[in-house]
Amino acid sequence: MNQTLTPSPLDTALALQRQAYLAHPVPTLAERKADLRTLQRFVREHKEALCDAISADYGHRSRHETLLAEVFPVVDGIDHVIKHLPGWMKTQRRNVDLRTFFGASNRVIPQPLGVVGVIVPWNFPLNLSLVPLTSIFAAGNRAMVKMSENSRHLAAYLIAHMPAYFPPEKLQFFDETGGVGIAFSQLKFDHLLFTGSGATGRLVMSAAAQNLCPVTLELGGRSPAIVCEDFPVRVAAERILFVKFLNAGQICTTVDHLWLPQAKVEAFVQAAREIVPARYPTLDSPDYTSIIDQRSFDRLLAALDDARERGATLLPLLPGPAFDASVRKINPHIVLDAPPESVLWQREIFGPILPIRGYRSLEEVIDAVNAGPRPLAVYPFSHDRGTVRVLLERVMSGGVSVNDALFHVGQHDLPFGGVGESGMGHYHGHDGFNTFSKLRPVFYQGRFPTLKFLMPPYGKLADRVLAFLIR
């Protein structure tokens, strides 16, 4: 007896969106702008509830951090895209070799790919779902979005409220209820964007490869800050510590660890002891975010214990306890003299812990960074252009912020992406539009094709023409 298999909700959603794409493959500029304005309107109308949902997923997430790092980039980024979208959508003229193709013309036409899949991490779940959607909709595509298992409250809210703004043939969200991520990455998308760990990224890429589905991978990376001799320690501390403890360090592009001239380590520590308590007076400050789950909380405490057991000095920067297990908050820490084999130097930290290593020559730093996987970002601090140039030329990374950290990610007109083990591909702004478009080359033959003189049977005329072309 034959049994008919019932399509899964994922398969059904993809089939619906694929059918809608084939029926209307190239949305107009007006339609794309309308989608973008609708996405922006959703965020504006629901921003408080979105902040509450994300905070519930964390246990506690600073409302101001959510507004700054998630709501604002989406709203502001959509304005940027709408302003520039008419120019991005224009057909591009390309040169023609007039000796061979006199009278012909070349064009590149940006066209939608179709249906794009997005796999979202938990650390900035609104930003890392809606910012890609901005590029995806700008390029004229449809999208399916799979949220993290640690974003249950937000996922439920998006699933419940987004259908009032977008029909299912345009956009659908999915929660992680067990095995969804694996099945999602096996779908025959026209493009797949994954943001998350390198280990999971390898699995996603392997699954997508079975369908020859192109992927953009935004992975982790141990991003170093490198403070050079000429840069003021206090200024460096103010900037680095803001980025490091934003979202309690749970940012893929945060400062993972810090290189300081050996003679300036003590001054940096002293500055940190003044700066951090002024920003977060106590561990229960509403401006200080919790660690996302118990497993991550335990992992970070184990990393601190490992460093202590190996002879490192642990310096909590706030008064009171080193952590509060009831709310999963860890006191911001500086760690000195952790040996290279310690967990803090071997793996991405993803928490409010800043290992510092003193150096005596910049060459020492360059060699150490280059000995590991290419980081997602590098943060040189120097007012000397020659020094900055050396670091840019000799240390490869996904992106760079000079004399600060993180903020290259917030630039709408810069591509965001990794390199090597920190990822592949780019999005944001025009680069995002290109990533989710097929830049389709089109050749238009002229009325009288010149290559007719090179058609068989070949003879003396063909000899003379070829001799002319390759002289």
The residue among 129, 126, 143, 131 whose CA lies nearest residue 53 is: 126
The residue among 57, 62, 285, 154 whose CA lies nearest residue 145 is: 154
Q: Give residue 79's Cα distance to chain centre.
A: 20
Q: Give residue 126's Cα distance to chain centre.
A: 12
DSSP state of 293: S
Decide: helix, strand or coil at residue 396: coil
Torsion angle of the four alpha carbons 201, 204, 205, 211, in this order, in degrees rounded to the nearest 10: -170
Q: Give residue 385's Cα distance to chain centre.
A: 28
Whole-number Å distance between alpha carbons of 224 and 254: 9
Q: How far is CA 124 from CA 55, 146, 185, 230, 323, in A?
A: 11, 14, 20, 34, 23
Q: Which residues contact 75 (CB under 8 A, 6 or more apart)?
A: 40, 43, 44
Active site residues: 218, 252
Residues 177, 181, 185: CA angle, nearest 5 degrees: 155
Output b/e per residue, 133-161; b: 16+ Cβ within 10 A.
bbbbbbbbbbbbbbbbebbbbbbbbbeee
161, containing H or E segment: helix 152-161
Answer for the pair 418, 400: CB distance below 8 angstroms, yes or no: no
